[in-house]
Structure 1
């Protein structure tokens, strides 16, 4: 599957108001951006954690956030400043429905903010998928993607898609280019598993990006290009040995690892458990051990957590296969 979109789509969609729902609840998954060697161009979705959006239609044409759960009061309720509501408003304006459709939103965060697991992306994708479902699915996922990218721009100042693309499309995605957005879904080997540990330390995304060098050596660039190409080839061939050899980062990890306590100790522990590779999820501080099967991943995260605990660092762990579905409508309770 390939999308190649230069701008927000043009042309009003015909909405069948008989299909408009009264309420909907949507779950959207967390994501592991970069996939170790593919900075800003690779990412994959996991089964859990993720975020939920409950959306209810109301008589007054407006977009309101009633409540946000699980954020410790850190996210804005102002509908123009919260990425969920801002993107919903953007989509309704685009569809020329802002004067005829009103919704109330409740957002439930099931993942930590600033974890390196695509927290803002999951919320944005859940909100856009919810409003699209409420309206009877007038837009395809590909047509929703530019709105998701705008949500990332609102959240962190940079409209990258390595989180929102897998969160919306599911699976593993490659962002070949941004001008225009050119997105490719890659095959997912059946036994690929991610063991994720979130050390509860603060590594703001903006700070992590500022550490990245603007210029790199040609030698390092060639190594990184070879690793990305090898990883893609390994995914297509389900060649776990090639995947393991390729998932190494010589450009971003050396600088970002400075911000993550015990990073190299965690890496040594994970590799000793027989995982395919180990690195930083997104901008961190979450780290990911990618393995063939769950046994090695579970062993790695258990041992890493024990190590962090011994050093007085609290952490959370998640072990998941790659989520092929992306967002989904869940039953209302």
Structure 2
């Protein structure tokens, strides 16, 4: 048995929902923006290898790869359920840059654990699997949060609920929104970006954050696109992180001047996103970012919609 699984890139925070809101991304040109993992049965043990554009950014020791930890953690879950663990080989196609603000580690973790669950006849429930994804991704990012793994796994725009058996809830999204994303090519460590955050915020800031998020969720359910877009404002993380991302402030201002409905930092950055309902405008925004925001050959930009499918099986490499 050999399977190949894809998990899309994701935007954590989406400006208005620090640590509690995330969306999955799908380029409109049909390309895959995310990581794939291929799994095959082997005689015994756990084998891990990495290929792809950004494979050289990961540790060379397979046991230092997060996929190895995913397999070990999944094996423990199977043992607790009294189910056998057969030897498995995992090959990671690392196509998302590390430290990009696009849920790179989450994509790898989601693809690995979703694939393992498929490989072992869906031994874990959706909720059990999501919990495990959050725990494994937290080993890299420095804390357990679900705003990248949940949308990468489930697709769409996800609000983190984390109550009893309900970890997240799918929020209605706007089908006519284009999400223009640009990764500059620089690297921002999620753990380091999190360390910049203050331990406390003023009461008025906390109240405004809650008001903005609640109003955004309400506008999304009511289908009020203009109001929802106007609420995509980050008053928690962006004031701290923006000055540290080269070119971000200038490019965000340019996005708004060019007519974007909103613009902000994807996750911890440095990826920048901008929202518009006009495809020609989206192409104009992308052109600006390609010329002014991208710094090196690692950088790229895409015009996206939200990926509503989440993690899924893909054709094996070399097959149709």
**Do both proteins adopt the same fold according to a TM-score greater than 0.5, normalized to the shorter chain?**
yes
Tell me the residue number matched to 1:54. Answer: 38
Tell me the residue number matched to 2:78. Answer: 95
Q: CA deviation at 1:278?
A: 0.3
Partner Cα separation in structure 1 for residue 218 and residue 84 of structure 2: 49
The one of 282, 297, 300 aligned to 1:316: 300
Of 158-167 and 93-102, deviating more is 93-102
The one of 59, 64, 69 aligned to 2:47: 64
1:84 partnered with 2:72: no
Q: CA deviation at 1:128?
A: 0.8
Partner Cα separation in structure 1 for residue 122 and residue 164 of structure 2: 27
Q: Per-residue CA shift, 1:234-254, capped at 9, x if unaligned? A: 211221111122111122111
Tell me the residue number matched to 1:137. Answer: 122
Structure 1 residues 179 and 40 mapped into 2: Cα distance closer, same or farther (>3 Å)? farther
Tell me the residue number matched to 1:155. Answer: 140
Is there any run of 5+ residues in structure 1 with no aligned partner, and where? Answer: 1-21
Q: CA deviation at 1:188?
A: 1.7
**Is contact 1:68-1:75 (8 Å) kept?**
no
Partner Cα separation in structure 1 for residue 13 and residue 215 of structure 2: 15
Q: Per-residue CA shift, 1:157-213, capped at 9, x if unaligned? A: 211110001001111111124788631111122112211011112221122111111
Find the residue that maps to 1:73 and give its secondary structure. Answer: helix
Q: CA deviation at 1:100?
A: 3.9
Find the residue that maps to 2:33 and give its secondary structure. Answer: strand
1:120 partnered with 2:105: yes
Find the residue that maps to 1:278 and give its secondary structure. Answer: strand
1:208 partnered with 2:193: yes
Partner Cα separation in structure 2 for residue 68 and residue 282 of structure 1: 25
Partner Cα separation in structure 1 for residue 235 and residue 78 of structure 2: 44
Partner Cα separation in structure 1 for residue 99 and residue 258 of structure 2: 27
**Is contact 1:269-1:304 (8 Å) kept?**
no
The one of 62, 69, 75 aligned to 2:58: 75
What is the TM-score normalised by the length of structure 2?
0.90
Partner Cα separation in structure 2 for residue 211 and residue 179 of structure 1: 31
Is there any run of 5+ residues in structure 2 with no aligned partner, and where? Answer: 27-31
Partner Cα separation in structure 2 for residue 149 and residue 78 of structure 1: 23
Of 269-278 and 116-125, deviating more is 269-278
Tell me the residue number matched to 1:28. Answer: 7
> Over aligned residues, Cα RMSD in angstroms?
2.0
Tell me the residue number matched to 1:18. Answer: none
Partner Cα separation in structure 2 for residue 74 and residue 142 of structure 1: 31
**Is contact 2:11-2:22 (8 Å) kept?**
yes
Q: CA deviation at 1:141?
A: 2.6
Of 85-94 and 281-290, deviating more is 85-94
**Is contact 2:49-2:62 (8 Å) kept?**
no
**Is contact 2:5-2:38 (8 Å) kept?**
yes
Partner Cα separation in structure 2 for residue 55 and residue 322 of structure 1: 27
Partner Cα separation in structure 2 for residue 98 and residue 204 of structure 1: 37
Q: CA deviation at 1:105?
A: 1.1
Partner Cα separation in structure 2 for residue 35 and residue 277 of structure 1: 10
What is the TM-score normalised by the length of structure 1?
0.87
Partner Cα separation in structure 1 for residue 308 and residue 187 of structure 2: 30
